[in-house]
Amino acid sequence: MYPSQPRFSRHILKALSLILLVVWSVAVLYPLIWTGLGALKDNSQFMLGKPWAFPRSPWLWSNFSNVWNQYHFGQYFINSIVVTAISSLLAILLSATTAYVLARFPFRGSQILYYFYLSAMMIPMILGLIPLFFLLNDLNLINKLSGLIIVYTAWALPFSIFVMVSFFKTLPKELEEAAYIDGAGYYRTFFDVMLPLARSGLISIGIMNALNTWNEYIMGMVFVNDPVKYTIPVGIAVMQAEMQYRTEWGPLFAGLLMSMLPVIIVYMLFQRHIVAGVTAGAVK
């Protein structure tokens, strides 16, 4: 190989990469933009066969107000936020404690417990759907956000424990030992030393669990059937089903957009933190 070739091919590679990155960005953004365009159209414009066309004026902002008035989107958001926030926090608390013990306090059976949680990651949750319904019903948790919170927390545990065990294992033992020598007990060591050290890992599983919970649909639909307690995915699914019977494409697009936009805005504002959070847990 000639020495000049790497540099030359490097430029080509670089240009090619840039093109592909741009193409992918368009592939990601365009469907979202298309949703935005569709949200301002009426049915006849959908039928024109020019999906990329700009909505004809007057733009149908009424599509948005229709959806807003017919469906309790504000309420769905509040529900989703409450459910997501509380269950993510609970999952952090419950998984970090177990993970810490599994990572640092081997006992007879600790390996078994670890693999027990690990294999639970592969459980298809739909298998437990109906029994879970009866359980929640017996506990008076059907049709309640608290029921959803509990279920989502439980389902987030295996993955969180898995990530946190490997995270705790990477933390240096010296700090703990220093804490013990200073006379701190197990509990203080955990809460005052280890948890702060594991912060990035905790944030990371927190974000991942939050994303999963935020987007969960099946359990949300089966365990809650009171429209004021719907989470966003359930609200969207119901809206989609209803609009299908009425051929209201514009309002449907408006609804899709309304469900996405706030999340996208929050994401853009906190993008750096979220990106850092997602990666911190897994890359150590």
Partner 1 sequence: MKKQTKLFVVMTLTLSLILSIAGCSGTDSSSSKKKSNGLTANGLAGDFEIQYFVGGYGDAWWKDTIEQFQKLHPDLTIKQSAGPKINDQMKPRWIQGNPPDVVYIDGSGSNPRQMMDDHQLLDVTDWIKDAKNIDGEKLIDLMITEPEVYSGKTYTIPLVFGAYGNFYDQAFFDKNGWSVPQDYSSFLALSEKIKAAGISPYIHPGVYPEYIHGGFLFPAIISANGDHGEILKEMGDLKAGIFKSEPVMKALNQLSEISKLGYIDQASPAINHTDSQMLFLQHKAAFIPNGLWLESEMKNDTPADFKFGYIPSLTQSKGGKLIAIPYSTTLAIAKKAKNPEAAKAFIQFVFKKKNALNWAEKTGALMNVKTDLDSSEASPVAKTAMKFYNSDHTLVAPVVVFNSDVEKVMKDATIALTVGKIKPEEWAERVEAAAAKARK
Partner 2 sequence: MFHIAKRERFIITFLIPTFIFFSVFTLYPIVRGMHISLFDWSGSSEFMTYVGVQNFVDMLHDPIVWTAIKNDYSLVLGKVIGIMILATFFAVAITRFRLRGTGFFRMIFFMPNIISAVVIGVLWRFIYNPNIGFLNAILSLFTKQPIRTPWLGQEDTALWSILWPSIWAGVGFYFLLLMAAILSVPTSLYEAAEIDGATQSRQFWSITVPLIWEQMKISILHIVMTTLNGSFVMVWIMTEGGPDNSTQVMGSYLYQMGFRQYHMGYASAIGVLILFMSLITTLIFQRLLRRDEVQLS
Q: Is 35 in the site for partner 2 (CB under 8 A)?
A: yes
Indicate which single residue of 238, 260, 276, 278 sits in contact with partner 1 (rule: CB under 8 A).
238
User: Residues 60, 67, 83, 90: which binds partner 1 (CB under 8 A)?
Assistant: 90
Tokens of 227: 């429209």
Structure tokens at 212: 């999963």
Q: Return the number of the residue (144 or 284) whose C-beta is nearest partner 1.
A: 144
CA 128 to chain CA centroid, Å, is 21
By a kind-dependent CB cut-off of 5 to 8 A, residue 60 interacts, out of partner 1, partner 2, none, with: none
- Give the interface segment with partner 1, choosing from 24-32, 54-62, 76-84, 219-227 (CB under 8 A): 219-227
> Is 277 exposed, middle or buried, given 0-12, 13-18 or 19+ CB atoms closer than 10 A?
buried
2 or 245: CB nearest partner 1 = 245
> Contact with partner 1 (CB under 8 A): which of 38, 147, 233, 277?
147
93 belongs to the binding site for partner 1 (CB under 8 A): yes
Going by the DSSP 8-state scheme, the letter that residue 184 receives in this structure is -
Residue among 181, 185, 268, 283 that touches partner 1 (CB under 8 A) = 185
* Smallest separation, CB 196 to partner 2 (Å): 17
Kindly state whether residue 59 participates in binding partner 1, applying the rule CB under 8 A. Answer: no
Q: Of these partners, partner 2, partner 1, none, which one is at the site of residue 225 (CB under 5 to 8 Å by kind)?
A: partner 1
Nearer Cβ to partner 1, position 30 or 134? 134
Determine if 66 is a binding residue for partner 1 (CB under 8 A). no
Of 255 and 277, the one with the shorter C-beta distance to partner 1 is 255
Q: In terms of C-beta distances under 8 Å and separation of at least 24 residues, what long-range contacts does 214-222 make, across chains too?
A: 214/80, 214/84, 214/263, 216/152, 218/125, 218/126, 218/129, 219/125, 219/129, 219/132, 219/148, 219/151, 219/152, 220/148, 222/129, 222/133
Could you tell me where the beta strands, DSSP code E, fall in the chain? Answer: none
- Residue 149 lies near partner 1 (rule: CB under 8 A): yes
Cα torsion for 250, 253, 255, 259, to the nearest 10°?
Answer: -160
| CA angle, 250 then 267 then 204, to 5° | 135
DSSP state, residue 56:
P
- Asked if 117 contacts 158 with a C-beta cutoff of 8 angstroms, the reply is yes
**Spatial separation of the C-alpha atoms in residues 235 and 98, rounded to whole Å:** 35
* Total residues interacting with partner 1, rule: CB under 8 A: 36
Which among partner 1, partner 2, none contacts residue 74 (Cβ within 5 to 8 A by kind)? none
Closest CB 86 distance from partner 2, rounded Å: 14
The C-alpha angle with vertex 65 and arms to 63 and 70, in degrees rounded to 5, equals 95
Cβ proximity to partner 2: between 41 and 229 the closer is 41
Question: Where on the chain is the footprint of partner 1 (CB under 8 A)?
Answer: 43-44, 47, 90, 93, 97, 130, 133-134, 137, 139-142, 144, 146-147, 149-150, 185-188, 191, 221-222, 225, 227, 237-238, 241-242, 244-247
